[in-house]
Amino acid sequence: MAVRLKCPECDGPNSDDAKVCRWCNTDLRGVHSVLATVHAPPPESPSIARSLRLAPSDRAHVFDARMHASAESQATTVVVEPPSVPEGLVRLPTHVTGLDGALGGGLPEGYVVLLEGGPGTMKSSLALWTLAHNAAKDGRRGLYLSFEESAGSLFKQMTSLGVPLAEASDRLVIADPTQLGRTVRGGKQDWLDSLRTIVEPLQRDGLKLFALDSLGSLDTHVRFRERPHELMRFFDWLRELGLASIIVAERSEDGSRESGVVHQEDFLADGIIQLRLRPVGEDDVQRRLRVVKMRGVRHEANEMAFWARTGQLLVAAPSGPPFEELPPPPPPV
């Protein structure tokens, strides 16, 4: 157990001599009276691990089905009072029930947001869901760069989730590894200049949302020589374009924030949304979502349940009274 200074803006723990919050950059000087006690999480019972025969991602799918079928096991949505939006900050909805409220109104335009998690946590699904629904329902143009999955595989997955890709087809561009590999490795051109040839013409044509899947795969293709410098160039360029950017980042359990590992991109990004798989009882696994950081914005900081129905993604309190049906997402801000 250790005593840490608690940030009044994002509620994040910091060292007791910190002058600036490591999560949201809030000035902590003079906030010496607000302290929080941080307890180490209890160790996972070995019996739970032995009793789970399915892979965690498969058990999460089973949990999704049970949550849908049994009203008694379902949770209520998180109720978050939307904070006052800073002047000039435009929000774009995720169209995930409960998430826009937790974010204080949606994804801020001009922010670079990391979507972190391990395999099976639905990182790619959440990113493509957001772009597709903005294109289909709100008419906002989006660009999804996948260095890992083919466009055909992504279409198949999203169809099974009920994502309206057909309605979004004229406003959503999906580039897959076959196209991107040749572009970023071709010739002697700088890798970021190669990406400019893809993104900037679309931005001049009204592009609003950008997603990259994933940061590790981009690194594999272009082989960053000076990672902090390359990431700073990349993120600054996206901010200059004014896009709401989602960057998928693989995180194993050993590389999670709770193990004390903090990555360079965590400091450089404007926001971090973390996805994890949590054991529930003896034989279930539930996906959990937490908004770890959203610079300059008040947001829900607690861990929330995250699961899928056909045609709907949901974010809710991990436990609570039963409900009949979750309300639709809030209208675009």
The single residue listed with the structure tokens 């900081």 is 301
More confident: 328 or 89: 89
pLDDT number for residue 290:
95
Q: What is the pLDDT of residue 281?
A: 80
Dist. CA 268–CA 265, nearest whole Å: 5
pLDDT of amino acid 71: 40
Per-residue confidence band for 275, with pLDDT thresholds at 50, 70 and 90: very high
pLDDT average, residue stretch 197-225: 93
Q: Which two tokens stand for residue 296?
A: 């300059």
Return phi, psi of residue 62, to 5°.
-60, -40
Residue 152 — pLDDT band, cuts 50, 70, 90?
confident
Domains in the chain: boundaries: 1-40, 41-316
Q: How long a stretch of residues is the chain?
A: 333
pLDDT surpassing 80 at residue 5: no
The pLDDT value given to residue 313: 92
Of 163-177, 204-218, 282-296, 318-332, least confident by mean pLDDT is 318-332
pLDDT per residue as tens digits for the range 101-149: 999 899 999 999 999 999 989 999 999 999 999 999 999 999 999 998 8
pTM (predicted TM-score): 0.72
What percentage of the chain carries pLDDT values higher than 90? 43
Which CATH number does 41-316 carry?
3.40.50.300
Q: In whole angstroms, give the CA distance from residue 266 to residue 221.
A: 21
Report residue 68's pLDDT band, with 50, 70 and 90 as the boundaries: low
pLDDT in tens, 13-63: 777 777 777 666 677 777 654 333 333 334 444 433 333 445 666 667 666
Place 72 in a pLDDT band, splitting at 50, 70 and 90: very low
